[in-house]
C-alpha cells in the first residue's frame, strides 16, 4: 500500500493505510473576508484535533475575468443559494483569501501544531506558495484537467493531494500520469462529490470509488466532503480513507459563500473524536487474546479431563477421559495421541490430565 511521510510542526507524520487519518479543515471562503475570522477558524481547527488547515490561493483576476456575460454567471443546478445571482468574478472577489494574509496565517497555524497548505489555482499562486515554503499542495477537483497547472505543481517535487470530483477515468489517469511524470512522488487522491448539498443524495456518494482509486492507481486515498454534516466522511474514514477534508466555518450561524456545506467547530470536534474512536476500534492485525479479560476467559476452552477414577498403570480410554470444559488439562489436539497409553499414577475423577500422568 502507498504511503508517504511529511514533516509537520508536531514531528514526522506518515499518511497512508494503517496510520491515523489525516484530517484537513478546509477554510475556503468561510472567513468572509474577515482576517480575525480566519484566525478563529485556524484555532478552532487546532482545538478540534484536526491535523491541517487548508486555504485556497487565488485572486479574482487569476481565476477568471470580470465579465457578466451568461457564461460567467453562477446559479442553478446544485450550487448553494448563497451563490445565486453572482458572476464568477463577484463570487471570487468576496470569497478569496487575500494573499497578504497567508504568511501570518501560516505562522499562526504552525504555532498551533497544524500543517498549513493551500490549493493554488494558477502558476502565480504556486510561485507565491513556494515563497512561503508550504509542505504540500492540494489540487481542486475542478483543476484536474488543468494540465499546465499540474505540471507546475509537480515541478515542486512536494507531496500532492488531489480531489478528482466528477473527472472521468481517463481524466484521472491523465492527471495522475502528468503529476508523476513531472516530479510528484508522493500522491493522495481524494474521491469527492461536488453537489455542495445540504441534504446529499446517498446514492450519488459511491464511496467504493475511493477504494478503487487506491488499488487501481497505487496511491494513498481519501475523501473530500462537500456536503453538510459528518455522516458521510465518517463512513469514508471507517472504509479506509487516509485523508479526510471537511469545510469548517467559524460559527454555526456564519453565512458565507461556503457555509451551506460546512460544519462548525463543535461538529468538527465530534467528528475528529469519532474518527479516532473508529481507528482505535479498527486497531491492528492481531491474533490471540485481547487483554486481561480474554486471558481469563481462556479457562473456558476445552481440555482433556479424567471422568472416571483411573488406577496406576491403567489404560487410558474414551470411557475414563473426555474433552470437556475447562482448559486446565492437555489440549484436545492430543486426545487421540494419549488413548491407549498407561497412567503413571492413580488419577481421580474430575482431574485435568497432564503429560506427567502418562507413561511415554
- The backbone torsions φ and ψ at residue 195, rounded to the nearest 5 degrees and listed phi first, read -80, -20
CATH of 292-357, one of 3.30.70.3400, 3.40.50.720, 3.90.1210.10, 3.30.70.1520: 3.90.1210.10
Return d(Cα 149, Cα 313) in angstroms, integer. Answer: 87
pLDDT higher than threshold 60 for residue 273: yes
Residue 189, pLDDT score:
98
Residues 103-136 have pLDDT tens digits of 999 999 999 999 999 999 999 999 999 999 999 9
**Looking at 107-121, 249-263, 299-313, which range is the least confident one?**
249-263
Give the rounded percent of residues in the chain with a pLDDT score beyond 70: 98
- Top CATH class, 3-58+96-282: alpha beta
Residues 20-68 have pLDDT tens digits of 999 999 999 999 999 999 999 999 999 999 999 999 999 999 999 999 9
The region, left, alpha or beta by phi > 0 then psi within -120 to 50, assigned to residue 114 is beta
- The residue whose grid cell reads 453565512 is 255
Strands 11-16 and 220-225: unpaired
Q: Return the axis-axis angle of helices 147-154 and 123-131, rounded to nearest 10°.
A: 20
Residue 353 contacts residue 320 (beta carbons within 8 Å) = no
Domain ranges of the chain: 3-58+96-282, 292-357
Residue 121 contacts residue 96 (beta carbons within 8 Å) = no
Report helix, strand or coil for 269: helix
Q: What is the pTM of this model?
A: 0.88
DSSP annotation of 286 reads -
Return d(Cα 320, Cα 315) in angstroms, integer. Answer: 9
E-assigned strand segments in the chain: 3-8, 11-16, 22-26, 52-57, 115-120, 137-139, 160-163, 187-192, 220-225, 243-247, 303-306, 321-324
Among 297, 313, 307, 299, which Cα is nearest to 335's? 307
Summary count for the chain: helices (H), strands (E): 12, 12
Return d(Cα 6, Cα 285) in angstroms, integer. Answer: 25
pLDDT higher than threshold 70 for residue 161: yes
Return d(Cα 77, Cα 195) in angstroms, integer. Answer: 8
Residues 77-107 have pLDDT tens digits of 555 666 777 899 999 999 999 999 999 999 9
Amino acid at each position: 500500500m502507498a504511503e508517504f511521510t511529511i514533516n509537520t510542526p508536531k514531528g514526522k507524520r506518515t499518511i497512508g493505510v494503517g496510520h491515523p487519518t489525516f484530517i484537513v479543515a478546509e477554510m475556503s471562503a468561510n472567513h468572509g473576508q474577515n482576517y480575525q475570522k480566519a484566525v478563529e477558524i485556524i484555532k478552532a481547527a487546532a482545538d478540534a484535533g484536526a491535523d491541517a488547515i487548508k486555504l485556497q490561493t487565488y485572486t479574482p483576476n487569476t481565476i477568471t475575468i470580470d465579465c457578466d456575460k451568461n457564461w460567467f454567471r453562477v446559479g442553478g443546478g446544485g450550487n448553494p443559494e448563497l451563490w445565486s445571482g453572482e458572476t464568477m468574478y463577484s463570487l471570487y472577489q468576496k470569497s478569496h483569501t487575500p494573499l497578504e494574509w497567508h504568511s501570518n496565517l501560516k505562522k499562526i497555524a504552525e504555532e498551533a501544531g497544524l500543517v498549513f497548505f493551500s490549493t493554488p489555482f494558477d502558476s502565480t499562486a504556486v510561485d507565491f506558495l513556494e515563497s512561503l515554503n508550504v509542505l504540500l499542495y492540494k489540487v481542486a477537483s475542478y483543476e484536474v484537467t488543468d494540465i499546465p497547472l499540474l505540471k507546475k505543481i509537480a515541478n515542486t517535487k512536494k507531496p500532492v493531494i488531489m480531489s478528482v470530483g466528477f473527472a472521468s477515468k481517463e481524466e484521472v489517469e491523465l492527471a495522475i500520469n502528468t503529476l508523476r511524470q513531472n516530479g510528484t512522488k508522493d500522491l493522495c487522491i481524494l474521491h469527492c462529490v461536488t453537489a455542495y448539498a445540504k441534504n446529499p443524495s446517498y446514492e450519488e456518494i459511491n464511496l467504493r470509488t475511493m477504494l478503487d482509486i487506491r488499488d487501481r492507481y497505487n496511491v494513498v486515498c481519501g475523501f473530500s466532503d462537500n456536503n453538510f454534516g459528518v455522516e458521510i466522511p465518517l463512513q469514508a474514514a471507517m472504509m479506509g480513507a487516509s485523508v479526510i477534508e471537511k469545510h469548517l466555518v467559524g460559527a454555526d450561524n456564519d453565512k458565507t459563500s461556503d457555509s451551506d456545506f460546512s460544519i462548525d467547530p463543535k461538529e468538527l470536534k465530534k467528528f475528529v473524536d469519532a474518527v479516532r474512536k473508529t481507528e482505535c476500534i479498527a486497531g491492528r492485525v492481531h491474533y490471540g487474546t485481547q487483554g486481561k479479560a480474554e486471558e481469563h476467559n481462556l479457562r473456558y476452552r476445552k481440555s482433556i479431563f479424567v471422568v472416571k477414577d483411573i488406577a496406576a498403570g491403567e489404560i487410558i480410554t474414551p470411557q475414563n477421559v473426555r474433552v470437556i470444559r475447562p482448559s486446565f488439562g492437555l489440549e484436545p489436539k492430543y486426545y487421540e495421541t494419549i488413548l491407549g497409553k498407561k497412567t503413571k499414577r492413580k488419577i481421580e475423577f474430575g482431574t485435568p490430565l497432564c503429560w506427567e500422568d502418562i507413561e511415554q
